[in-house]
Amino acid sequence: MKRNYLIGLSALFFASLFLLLVDSNNLGFSSDSITYLEGAKNIKAGKGYIFDDGQLINHWPPLYSILIALTSILTKVKLLYSAKYLHALLIIGIIILLDKIFKNLKLNKYLSLFSIFLFFISAASKVFLWQLSEGLFTFFNLYSYYLFLLWAKYDGKKTLIGAGVISALFFLTRFAGIGFIVAYCAFLFFFKSSDLRKKIIALSLYLIPFIILVIPWFLYAKTMGANLQDRSFEIHLITVKHLENFISVIKNWFFGNYITVKLAPFFALVIFYGLFKERKKNSVNVLGYIRKNGYPILLAGILIILYLLFIVISASFFDRGIPFDNRILYPVFPFLIILIAILLQFLYSKKVKLIFYSLGLFLLISFTASGIPVYKTYYNHGLGFTHQKWKNSEVIRYISKDDNLIYYSNATEILKLNTSKKGKKIPNKSRSEELNKIKSEVLKGDAQVLILKPFLWPDYLVSEDQIQQKFQGFKYVYFKNGYLIKYE
């Protein structure tokens, strides 16, 4: 079968499988997902990229919400469900892009397909199951990488301009794209040409279209009377916990299942034996292969290193809340897959069969053994706020009766996704006096307080102890997933 047909069929297969997987539970939702949904709703209504209270959404850039709204308009699907169709299209696009990259790297169609399979079966790629911007960010990032490979090969000005445009799009998807933009600039300035004039021209061709496309976002934020983003400088260096989380995520990508851990020593011995055997033959020139294929390896390495450095700097000086979790680290995962694909192609081209098949089999077992349980659990139970435990919870069923009460809660996201009730967030610590107003509304019978558990309790909200002290003497109705405070 011709390569294009094979890749096309694979793209349709993975996208269809994805839609079947998310059909029963929809995408997983987190607090950020709710923000994206709220932004999309107001964009669709012509109000702009704002919260329901009219404030600019400035923690996350607007492109993902814009595309959710656009997908809903074009497909006539409710906003709540439109993102899954957007994600299916992104999966198709990413598969096509990966194959174009692998074709540029001279991988045969079967190695390309194998690498694509590893990419999507991995537990790391569960980010596609969440209504979050990682899939869109990955698509634009791979596209920019592909354009840079073309530019490094053919030195075309239009290609570099295109890379600047695509980089602007991934910046407007996630501000973390700054790390990759710095990496691309470093590649242009330090590694492609020794001529200063050519360096400056290349940087200009890349940065000018980028700046032109992101300026409207700055201007829009200014017209809304808001900062471009809500982070500020303060020193809070990363901790040992951050490093432990980082190591845990990388470990789960490659050794996320006990089967892999048990088999790893055996495969390591086989691979070391293969290396010893080939070393005696002196038939494998690794450095020569790296020199010949230097730019793809170098660029992928720079992107990984500088993105991680950007995350460390951001967590240390601008946003103490950045978790070193799968979502934050995922943007480097596609480039690790590309480096793995290059390594497999090298082993295959040199006919180093023992190492090639051993490494390939280990990766297949590792990624499949860690990925399938994740997808199976998601299919059966869902993720985040759309998890079955919330949809079918006793407390949600209890408050679903027909009334016009306002529910003050630590988890208004659950109410928004699983009920038609009016939910308002319990107040911030800085506005704790608002508890008196809530108490008055509960006394009048206009409102109730709903505390859901287990649920992440943000540090900025008043504490549960404060709420219980304020509502001493009120009636508490307890459920498995939380409790209700009302007045009778």
Distance CA 134, CA 91 (A): 12
Distance CA 367, CA 390 (A): 30
Q: Does position 276 have pLDDT exceeding 80, yes or no?
A: no
Q: State the pairing for strand pair 482-486/447-452.
A: antiparallel
Burial per residue of 454-485, b for 16 or more beta-carbon CB atoms within 10 angstroms, e otherwise: ebebeeebbeeeebeebbeebeeeebebbbbb
Residue with the bigger pLDDT between 119 and 55: it is 119
Strand partners, 486: 475
* Range in 23-27, 51-55, 104-108, 288-292 the model is least confident about: 288-292
* pLDDT tens figures, 214-252: 999 989 988 887 665 555 566 667 778 878 888 989 998
| 454: preceding bond cis by omega (within 30 degrees) | yes
pLDDT recorded at residue 58: 84
Q: Does position 401 have pLDDT exceeding 80, yes or no?
A: no
**Secondary structure string (H, E, C) spanning 150-200:** HHHHHCCHHHHHHHHHHHHHHHCCCCCHHHHHHHHHHHHHHCCCCCHHHHH
Q: Does position 273 have pLDDT exceeding 80, yes or no?
A: no
Residue 62's CB: how many other CB atoms inside 10 A? 22
Residue 253's CB: how many other CB atoms inside 10 A? 23
Name the residue among 314, 313, 303, 360 with its Cα closest to residue 336: 303
Report pTM. Answer: 0.88
pLDDT recorded at residue 285: 60
- Does residue 204 sit in helix, strand or coil? helix
Residue with the bigger pLDDT between 374 and 420: it is 374
| Helix 109-121 × helix 79-104 angle, to 10° | 150
DSSP 386: T
Q: Does position 141 have pLDDT exceeding 60, yes or no?
A: yes
Residue 122's CB: how many other CB atoms inside 10 A? 24
Name, in order, each residue with C-beta under 8 angstroms of 54's C-beta and a sequence gap of 6 or more: none
* pLDDT tens figures, 145-163: 999 999 988 878 899 999 9
Token look-up 């949904």 returns 37
The alpha carbon of residue 377 and the mean position of all alpha carbons in its chain are separated, in whole angstroms, by 19
Mean pLDDT score, 412-419: 82
Name the residue among 150, 152, 153, 125 with its Cα closest to residue 337: 125
- What is the tally of helices (H) and strands (E) in the chain? 21, 5
Percent of the chain with pLDDT over 90: 47
Q: Does position 420 have pLDDT exceeding 80, yes or no?
A: no
Mean pLDDT score, 186-211: 89
Q: Does position 126 have pLDDT exceeding 60, yes or no?
A: yes
* Inter-residue contact 331 to 85 (CB < 8 Å): no
Phi, psi at 89, each rounded to 5°: -65, -40
Strand partners, 277: none
Q: State the pairing for strand pair 482-486/406-409.
A: unpaired
Highest mean pLDDT among 3-12, 50-59, 385-394: 3-12
Sequence-ordered alpha helix ranges (H) in 172-293: 177-190, 196-223, 240-255, 258-281, 286-292
CA 208 to each of CA 161, 212, 305, 329: distance values in angstroms, whole numbers, following the listed order: 8, 6, 25, 28
Computed over every residue of the chain, the mean pLDDT equals: 87
Distance CA 311, CA 293 (A): 28
Phi, psi at 451, each rounded to 5°: -110, 120
Q: Does position 488 have pLDDT exceeding 80, yes or no?
A: no
Sign for the CA dihedral angle at 232, 235, 238, 240 comes to: negative
pLDDT recorded at residue 81: 92
CA 98 to each of CA 107, 116, 158, 314, 470: distance values in angstroms, whole numbers, following the listed order: 11, 7, 21, 29, 57
Sequence-ordered alpha helix ranges (H) in 105-133: 109-121
Name, in order, each residue with C-beta under 8 angstroms of 114's C-beta and a sequence gap of 6 or more: 344, 360, 364
* pLDDT tens figures, 421-445: 778 888 888 888 889 999 999 998 8
